[in-house]
Amino acid sequence: MEHEIAEFIESLKLKNASEHTIKGYATDLKEFKDGFPDKPVTAIGKKELTNFLAGLRRYGFDNSTANRKLSALRSFFKFLVEKGTIAKNPAANVKAPRKESKLPSFLTEESAEKLMDTENLSPRDRAILETLYGTGVRASELIGMNIGSLDFVNETVTVLGKGSKERKIPLTRTAIYVLKSYLANRNMMERDAPLFLNKYNQRLSQRGLQNIVNKHIRMVAELRRMSPHTLRHTYASVMLNKGCDLRTIQELLGHASIASTQIYTHLTTEKLKQAYKDGHPRA
């Protein structure tokens, strides 16, 4: 199966799939292959796939993780069908585990402002936090930004989202100010140079970004789950609380479906419930 997986990963690179997607699919498919080391791809059927997913749940993986791995397997076997290696996709009719209803982790507006006002931040870290909170971009979109992605004249930044879809997002005045301050000390200023660099002057990685954001969030809030996406969720909930409509938030976040954006209405509902409990004498 190793040879077929390598061919599939190479096909993703030729299609300009994101580095995040390629790494994720490679990891998921390796885990699957390791579970069936002696089976060729032609011998893999629905039974093996359902057993693999059941094993994930036994080892404590949540349904979202299982769904992601199933998506990788569906794409892999679809590739093999198109290539003529197998006759039909064994993953096509495998039922995806039901997703747990989890509200995203986010900061209160007060905590977000406290985070933005943190003292002694490096110019790079301050620019990262202001850009994440001020635009709501995904982690992959932020680390994919180049110098040329910024348009200070029109106060926008261009990002490449899921499915290689490009969109322009407004920049806050504060984000523009801190970005200019950060860039004032940069040597690499070519348009195609990475916007955010690590200490080796290379493009910041996903893990590097997560470490930076998590370190600073811990200073202002206690959250069970935190990541760069915490600021994306915070951005959306703040926009909704300020009266922005869901369609506009959907477009700003780059969601393909309004259903993905509607999760933020649950955040505001929870906030209203808490305010009711705190304020009503019979609550």
Catalytic site includes residue 255: yes
Q: Is 162 noted as a catalytic residue in this protein?
A: yes
Point out the catalytic residue in the list 25, 133, 182, 264: 264
| Known catalytic residue at 98 | no
Element (H, E) at 212: helix 206-217
**Active site residue: 124, 216, 232, 233, which one?**
232
The one-letter amino acid code at 280 reads H
Residue closest to 9 by CA, chosen among 103, 72, 101: 72
**Helix or strand (DSSP H, E) at 172:** none
* 8 Å CB contact between 111 and 196: no
Q: Among the options 138, 216, 233, 235, which is catalytic?
A: 138
DSSP string, 248-267: HHHHHHT-SSHHHHTHHHHH
Pick the catalytic residue from 33, 74, 78, 162: 162
Q: Active-site residue 264, yes or no?
A: yes
Residue 247 annotated as catalytic: no
Report the C-alpha gap between 131 and 155 in whole angstroms: 12
Give CA torsion, residues 36, 41, 42, 44, to 10 deg: 40
The per-residue DSSP string of 77-145 comes to HHHHHHHTSSSS-TTTTPPPPPPP--PPP---HHHHHHHHT-TT--HHHHHHHHHHHHH---HHHHHT-
Tell me, yes or no, if 233 is annotated catalytic.
no
Residues assigned a catalytic role: 138, 162, 229, 232, 255, 264
